[in-house]
């Protein structure tokens, strides 16, 4: 087993593709595949599941990668200390449901970074893919919400994937609407009052169970529904078709503009926002700094920070 093989495995896991990893490593795909297979044969485990859809880490592969990353991190420290090597890029990746406060904290992190080079990734993603990203080491953190409806199912998935969930804050559900919407100035609204307007929600792909819905109260029926994949389009349609969506109520005018209103929704349901970490990996200093920014932002919005 060599450091080169460990670097190869880490890059393949990061890219989720042998072809892309080979391109970034500047080696041929057959050479990379051969190196990984030789390592698997030496260790007596299968690190990657291979299929027509791509590759993914096996349970043994996930455990091995956690150890490999620790070795690579320590190697970089030794090289920087004694070989006067150029410091490595600051790396950080997070996957999240579509929340403005997550993006705002990401912006704050970037503003605080004092480095000549860095590579940061923010993935606004589907619920199931967030869990996959953190379990597969593509992201260090994953932000999503739990409710009385989805908690049992999502926590089971977390346990199966060796993930921990840390609560950030509890929120009462709100609806986002355009400031020109007839209900924008209401003290609160009911779903019955909203029934005539288009309901906007995020598409969840093949894992489209109600338990993976990004919006609270997924079991409620709506006369008009528009399914979307990105936050910019959703906010444009809030303005364009007098639509509405259900969320935590945390808005940011710098990111969303001044023409979106947040109105409390009358319901007994609550949602808890929190973040996922991988039990088999240590958080990087950059991830820890991001969490500091996230907690600070949540507190500045008037919420009690839970963890």
Kindly report the number of other CB atoms within 10 A of residue 263's CB atom. 21
Structural domains present in the chain? 3-82 (1.10.10.10), 90-166+276-300 (3.40.190.10), 171-271 (3.40.190.10)
Q: Which residue has the higher pLDDT, 240 or 281?
A: 240
Q: How far is CA 252 from CA 26, 44, 102, 136, 152, in A?
A: 41, 51, 10, 31, 31
| pLDDT value at residue 143 | 98
- Give residue 42's pLDDT band: very low, low, confident or very high (50, 70, 90): very high
| pLDDT value at residue 123 | 94
The answer to whether the CB of 16 falls within 8 A of the CB of 136 is: yes
Q: How many helices (H) and strands (E) does the chain have?
A: 11, 12
In this predicted model, what pLDDT tens digit does every residue of 44-78 receive, in sequence order? Answer: 999 998 887 778 888 888 888 888 887 887 787 67
pLDDT more than 90, % of the chain: 59
Inform me whether the pLDDT recorded for 163 exceeds 60. Answer: yes
- Residue-wise over 248-260: b if at least 16 C-beta within 10 A, else e? bbbbbeeebeeeb
CA gap 141, 122 in Å, rounded: 10
Cβ-based burial of 100 (10 A; exposed 0-12, middle 13-18, buried ≥19): buried
In this predicted model, what pLDDT tens digit does every residue of 175-198 receive, in sequence order? Answer: 999 999 999 999 999 999 999 999
| pLDDT value at residue 253 | 58
The reported pTM is 0.74
Q: What is the mean pLDDT of residues 246-263?
A: 78
CA gap 284, 274 in Å, rounded: 18
Q: Which residue has the higher pLDDT, 88 or 26?
A: 26
């Amino acid at each position: 087993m060599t450091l080169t093989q460990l670097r190869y495995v880490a890059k393949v896991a990061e890219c989720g593709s042998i072809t892309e990893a080979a391109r970034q490593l500047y080696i041929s795909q057959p050479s990379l595949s051969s190196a990984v297979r030789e390592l698997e044969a030496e260790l007596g485990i299968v690190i990657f599941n291979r299929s027509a859809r791509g590759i993914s880490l096996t349970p043994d592969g996930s455990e091995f990668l956690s150890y490999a990353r620790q070795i690579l991190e320590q190697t970089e420290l030794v090289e920087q200390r004694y070989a006067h090597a150029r410091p490595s890029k600051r790396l950080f990746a997070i996957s999240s449901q579509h929340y403005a406060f997550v993006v705002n904290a990401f912006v704050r992190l970037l503003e605080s970074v004092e480095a000549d080079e860095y590579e940061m990734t923010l993935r606004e993603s589907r619920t199931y893919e967030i869990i996959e990203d953190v379990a597969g080491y593509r992201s260090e953190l994953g932000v999503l919400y739990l409710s009385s409806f989805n908690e049992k199912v999502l926590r089971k998935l977390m346990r199966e994937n060796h993930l921990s969930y840390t609560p950030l804050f509890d929120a009462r559900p709100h609806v986002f609407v355009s400031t020109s919407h007839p209900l924008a100035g209401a003290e609160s609204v009911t779903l019955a009052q909203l029934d005539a307007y288009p309901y906007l929600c995020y598409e969840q792909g093949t894992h489209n169970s109600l338990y993976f819905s990004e919006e609270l109260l997924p079991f409620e029926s709506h006369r008009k529904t528009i399914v979307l994949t990105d936050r910019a389009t959703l906010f444009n349609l809030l303005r364009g078709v007098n639509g509405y969506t259900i969320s935590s109520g945390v808005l940011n005018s710098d990111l969303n503009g001044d023409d979106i209103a947040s109105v409390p929704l009358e319901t007994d349901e609550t949602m808890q926002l929190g973040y996922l970490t991988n039990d088999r990996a240590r958080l990087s200093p950059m991830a820890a700094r991001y969490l500091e920014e996230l907690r600070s932002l949540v507190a500045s919005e008037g919420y009690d920070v839970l963890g």
